[in-house]
Structure 1
Amino acid sequence: MRLKSGIWVAAYIRRCGVEGVFAAVRRRGAEEAGAIFVVVNRLDGTADLYGPAPQSAFDDERPADRAFSRVLGDAPAAESAVEAFIARESRFDPDVWVVEIEERSGRHFLDRIVA
């Protein structure tokens, strides 16, 4: 059984705070099972965007873990591209969560990133 989205987001924001990084919920989604997107704002006009990994990335050993993948390529994208993607995703899925952190070096504190 996977942790509820609302609980996961609260824990993630707390983890960022422990690391000394500002984090905020920009969009509140479905408490039970909304998809979570994490924006890492690099404070220079660019950002990284992480979203739910494809189902093929999950394995039987850790089926309850949340896995993330980069959404807009390997390099930081323009903030406008990130905002456009989030706007499209929000129209498609009204239950989506968006969490934004401010981290110049790009640290994301996500435990599991899948290529």
Structure 2
Amino acid sequence: MARLTARFWIDAYLTRLRGQDIPAFIVSHGDDTAGSILVKLNRLDGQATVYQRSYNLMDDTRTWAILEQGAEADVDASITRQQGYDPDIWVIEVEDRQGRHLLDQPGLD
């Protein structure tokens, strides 16, 4: 199965968010081709969640799993740790009081 480049996926994701009037921006630019992606959902109330893509090798499916959630400072610390492990990682921040991130929609896995 062919995989999309990280940059292509991010551009499509940001376009989909803009179409729903959900503000989002690139916090950290990773490797354009194969960089891992973290999506931080900032609820603008001091709470946040960071999602990472996880792969199920048994059935070759991808899902978005919560890496960390809670106080925004704790979520940011988790992101910083991940960047220490993987300097090619992308970080996208989505700002939405309603908690919309669209990661559960078709085509974004």
Per the normalisation by structure 2, the TM-score is 0.88
Tell me how large the CA RMSD over aligned residues is: 2.1
Give identity over the alignment, percent.
38
Higher relative contact order (CA 8 A, sep 6+): 1
Aligned to 2:71: 78
How far, CA to CA, are the matches of 2:8 and 2:52 in structure 1?
17
How far, CA to CA, are the matches of 1:20 and 1:57 in structure 2?
35
How far, CA to CA, are the matches of 2:75 and 2:59 in structure 1?
29
More strand, by proportion? 2
How far, CA to CA, are the matches of 1:41 and 1:58 in structure 2?
32
Aligned to 1:104: 97
Q: CA deviation at 1:67?
A: 2.4
Per the normalisation by structure 1, the TM-score is 0.83
CA contact (8 A) 1:4 1:32 kept: yes
Residues 27/58 of structure 1: CA separation in 2 closer, same or farther (3 Å cut) = farther
Q: CA deviation at 1:33?
A: 0.8
In the comparison of the two structures, how many residue pairs are matched? 106
CA contact (8 A) 1:48 1:106 kept: no
Which structure 1 residue ranges, 5 or more long, are not aligned? Answer: none
Q: CA deviation at 1:77?
A: 0.9
Q: CA deviation at 1:57?
A: 6.3
SS in 2 for 1:31: coil
Aligned to 1:67: 63
Q: CA deviation at 1:58?
A: 6.2
For 1:71, the aligned partner's letter is L
Which structure 2 residue ranges, 5 or more long, are not aligned? Answer: none
Aligned to 1:38: 39
Residues 59/86 of structure 1: CA separation in 2 closer, same or farther (3 Å cut) = same
